[in-house]
Structure 1
Amino acid sequence: MKKKIAAVLAVLGLTACGNGNSGEPVTSYADTAAETNVISQTSETSAAAVHDIDPEAEGRGLEGIPYFYSPRAEEVVFVPSEETVKFNGRHIEHNDICYLSYTCSAVRFNMTGDRVEAVLVSNGGAYSSRQQGWIGVEINGELTKRIRLEDGEQSYVLYEGEELKNAEVAIVKLTENQMTNTGIKSITCNASRIAPTAEKELSIEVIGDSITCGYSNEAEGPEYGFNCDYENGAATYGYLTAKNLDADYSLVCISGLGLISNYTEYVGEKEDYLLLGEVYDYTDTNFEQRRGIEPLSEWDFGEGSDIVVINIGTNDYSYTGRDEDRQYEFYEAYYAFLDDVREHNPDAEIVCTMGIMGAELFGQIEEAASDFSRDNSDEHIHTMKFDYQSEEDGYGGDYHPSVATHKKAAEQLTAFLESLE
């Protein structure tokens, strides 16, 4: 893994904690539209139906086979799919709408064109006015716009301006899973070329709770509590680590989430609604349970991720306290969860961590990781304790880590991952 990460960084000309995206567009290809079989678009027919894929794209070594190709810019309407975009993170289809599931779940595509608009569906206001969803728009890896979504179905202009030359455009969910729903009904581009962004050489999955979600990380202090308006997933340690390593990513995280108990106000009083084990194997448990969808959709892990980071246990401690029996219960559940993670990610380096808001159960995590590694002859299980957040870096809502703390945590995690043999 160390060699693989180092090789990727060397190609990019980056240090371990550098910017994981140079901001340069992907190299565009020569205009050979005259040689391609392009059928003119009509207003009555969808772009996907009337435009052939550029037949010479693969032979010319393009990073992504175009979904749409034309000698001139035209209005193209499409829905996110494997044919049209690259997905980061989990997503779920419901009523012909693509819902982005967890923090920083995103769709990415390369485009030559000058305008992008999307019809988005949100029901943040169904919970409370302080829980409206936010999305971010990235152009070549830079967050250029943040949009607070309105209730229901609305159209939003994501980009309008100079022609982008084969640039990567991304729609990124900035707020967390259980607070808001963010669906993409359609994307409209004025473009001459659209293609899914190419897959990266590395992939990382980060599993966690409110810390990983970025719970109120932009709040000016702990007294602000939770508010989606203060939450920026693109400033979380998991997302920043993925950028540092130029890796594809998936964050699986819910505020308050635990392994044997979610956050509880009273030590010894278990809160076991929707624990990590009921979330990880499924695409979006929250989404489907609220709609009464059965059975739950199992997530397709494919070949698994190259790196899996498990940052869980902070909420479990609110239940276990110092009680040895309850802490042993956590140890047993952690050992079993490692087995589940390994089954879905057979070749991954698995990093078991906690500590940003306290490391009271880190000893049990170390023991579970060591025992699992020994019992299964698995040399790719690691432990790393995050540095505890510092008052000088400020606090987010309810004493959660600030943006400054997330940045430092990303630097620490990136350096640790680079060191793995």
Structure 2
Amino acid sequence: MRLSHHLSWLLPVLFMAGCEPFEPWFDYAPDEKQLQHIGRMDWSTELGPTYAHSGVTIRFRCNCTGVDVAFEEDPDGIGVEHNNWVNIIVDGKTQAKVEILPGRNILRGARNLPRGEHTIEIVKRTEPFAGRVKFLGLSLQGVLLDPPPWPEKKMEFIGDSITCGYGNEVDIYAPTYSEPNTGYHSKNEDISQAYGSILGRRFNAEVVTTCISGTGVYRNLDGTTEGKAYPYLYKRIFPDSEKPEWKPEWFVPDVIVINLGNNDFNFMVEGTPTAPPAEEFKAAYRKFVLDLVGYYPSTKIIASVGPMMNDNYPEGAEHWTKMQRYVREMVEGLQAEGKSNVQYFAYTPIVSDPYGEDWHPTNEAHAKMADELAVRLEEIGF
């Protein structure tokens, strides 16, 4: 244990926070060797690593009865509805959901834990749209221990807002099919309850999630294409910045699950969602999958579709049918060329309430997605 000079600004507050009898508090710097860092981080920033993606995690073991954590968030953020949130997960159970306010924050994490060893994870609940955070270190009422063993399996989930868990913490009933048009509220998003995280726990796998709301494989929700769609952003640590760049060799997954395409079919023309041109969509998807195959030659790749689309809306457009056909044909074409590690999968569409924000899956719906995909993962030997 040590008190890092990087955390000297924390001393007055942590001293007050630690004035509880019997157990002393100790501070740990963000680069302590006992801390495990999971996900895309920029370590070039002063004082600690900076990150934006959902699910980036600090994991450690401790003999402790309490934990606080220090973060810094951009003071020029876009308002309280978009502040980042983190989960403090102790021994697999979320003990605290904490908001990070603009500026430097000392977050009260977990208190009155049973004496003894605990595994603690500090998980960024919120997606890149909520902004970047910088991890400045933590304070324990107790001491750090050697870290837990790394999981043998690795999974990556690539997608849009569905994969991020957008609005999944609320249940909105829609008797008139107009109610879930809520807009984004960061407090209602929890990557820990999204299907990717659920599957990571089920398969005891290390999970990295790279999801960006509003993006598509050929075009985004706003209609932008080359240079703006998801495949062009994949190798970025921060989706809104070309530098620094993520190196694929830093995390080589055993399986990648892609869930893109929903936004490609939701570009609005005169108030109505429109389907992308079939060949352009399939070509963009094919190129992206081939890029991933190039980065990860031995990785199994699942191109999945759903569950937010169905053929009910817009009436007669058959967007759900078209999306399935486009993606399946793309996958079958790659398989015919010998890319047997590329698979197709479709989730069951959500056709009734409750919904999350803006028609997204709820926690319950994410659990069903995980159940369905788990069967396919077992079939391919994961």
Alpha-carbon displacement from aligned partner over 1:152-182 (angstroms, at most 9, x marks no partner): 1011121222454331111001111122222
Amino acid at match of 2:358: D
Alignment match of 1:353 (pick from 304, 322, 328): 304
Residue of structure 1 in register with 2:92 after alignment: 141
User: Aligned pair 1:78/2:28, yes or no?
Assistant: yes
Alignment match of 1:397 (pick from 357, 362, 365): 357
Distance 1:76 1:114 in 2: 12
Alpha-carbon displacement from aligned partner over 1:230-288 (angstroms, at most 9, x marks no partner): 11211111111111111110110011011221103xxxx545563212221222232xx
Residue of structure 1 in register with 2:235 after alignment: 281
Over 3 Å counting, the alpha-carbon distance change for 1:129 and 1:302 in structure 2 is closer
User: Aligned pair 1:383/2:340, yes or no?
Assistant: no
Q: Where do 1:251-262 residues align within 5 Å? A: 251-262=209-220
Amino acid at match of 2:27: V
Assess if the C-alpha contact under 8 Å between 1:99 and 1:184 holds in 2.
yes
Over 3 Å counting, the alpha-carbon distance change for 1:295 and 1:134 in structure 2 is closer
Over 3 Å counting, the alpha-carbon distance change for 1:153 and 1:412 in structure 2 is same
Q: Residue 245 of structure 2 aligns to a residue in which SS? A: coil
Alignment match of 1:410 (pick from 363, 370, 378): 370
Q: Residue 90 of structure 1 aligns to a residue in which SS? A: coil
Q: Residue 136 of structure 1 aligns to a residue in which SS? A: strand
Q: Residue 334 of structure 1 aligns to a residue in which SS? A: helix
Distance 1:295 1:173 in 2: 21
Alpha-carbon displacement from aligned partner over 1:180-227 (angstroms, at most 9, x marks no partner): 222211112233443333210111100000101111112342143321
Q: Residue 340 of structure 2 aligns to a residue in which SS? A: coil
Amino acid at match of 1:152: G
- Which has the higher mean CA deviation after the structures are superposed, 190-199 or 146-155? 190-199
Distance 1:305 1:249 in 2: 9
- Which has the higher mean CA deviation after the structures are superposed, 117-126 or 343-352? 117-126
Alpha-carbon displacement from aligned partner over 1:317-336 (angstroms, at most 9, x marks no partner): 2349346xx22111011111
Q: Residue 161 of structure 1 aligns to a residue in which SS? A: coil
Distance 2:294 2:34 in 1: 30
Distance 2:143 2:97 in 1: 26
Q: CA RMSD in A?
A: 2.5
Over 3 Å counting, the alpha-carbon distance change for 1:197 and 1:131 in structure 2 is same
Assess if the C-alpha contact under 8 Å between 2:2 and 2:28 holds in 1.
no
Q: Residue 97 of structure 1 aligns to a residue in which SS? A: coil
User: Aligned pair 1:119/2:73, yes or no?
Assistant: no
Assess if the C-alpha contact under 8 Å between 1:112 and 1:163 holds in 2.
no
Distance 2:32 2:345 in 1: 35
Alignment match of 2:103 (pick from 141, 152, 170): 152
Q: TM-score, normalised by structure 1?
A: 0.75
Residue of structure 2 in register with 1:172 after alignment: 123
Amino acid at match of 2:287: A
- Unpaired runs of at least 5, structure 1: 1-40, 48-71
Assess if the C-alpha contact under 8 Å between 1:100 and 1:173 holds in 2.
no
Assess if the C-alpha contact under 8 Å between 2:29 and 2:137 holds in 1.
yes
User: Aligned pair 1:307/2:268, yes or no?
Assistant: no
Assess if the C-alpha contact under 8 Å between 1:389 and 1:401 holds in 2.
yes
Q: Residue 315 of structure 1 aligns to a residue in which SS? A: coil
Alignment match of 2:55 (pick from 104, 111, 121): 104
- Offset at residue 108 of structure 1 (A): 0.3
Distance 2:65 2:275 in 1: 59
User: Aligned pair 1:194/2:145, yes or no?
Assistant: yes
Q: TM-score, normalised by structure 2?
A: 0.82
Amino acid at match of 2:361: P
Identity of aligned residues (%): 21
- Offset at residue 148 of structure 1 (A): 1.6
Alignment match of 1:87 (pick from 34, 37, 51): 37
Over 3 Å counting, the alpha-carbon distance change for 1:119 and 1:251 in structure 2 is same
Over 3 Å counting, the alpha-carbon distance change for 1:240 and 1:125 in structure 2 is farther
Over 3 Å counting, the alpha-carbon distance change for 1:43 and 1:307 in structure 2 is closer
Residue of structure 2 in register with 1:31 after alignment: none
Residue of structure 1 in register with 2:221 after alignment: 263
Q: How many residues align?
A: 343
Alpha-carbon displacement from aligned partner over 1:343-369 (angstroms, at most 9, x marks no partner): 222221111101201234221211111
- Offset at residue 411 of structure 1 (A): 0.7
Residue of structure 2 in register with 1:232 after alignment: 190
- Offset at residue 74 of structure 1 (A): 6.0
Assess if the C-alpha contact under 8 Å between 2:6 and 2:29 holds in 1.
no
Assess if the C-alpha contact under 8 Å between 2:3 and 2:28 holds in 1.
no
Over 3 Å counting, the alpha-carbon distance change for 1:43 and 1:357 in structure 2 is closer
Alignment match of 1:362 (pick from 324, 327, 347): 324
Over 3 Å counting, the alpha-carbon distance change for 1:102 and 1:164 in structure 2 is farther
Over 3 Å counting, the alpha-carbon distance change for 1:335 and 1:148 in structure 2 is same
Assess if the C-alpha contact under 8 Å between 2:40 and 2:246 holds in 1.
no
Assess if the C-alpha contact under 8 Å between 2:126 and 2:191 holds in 1.
yes
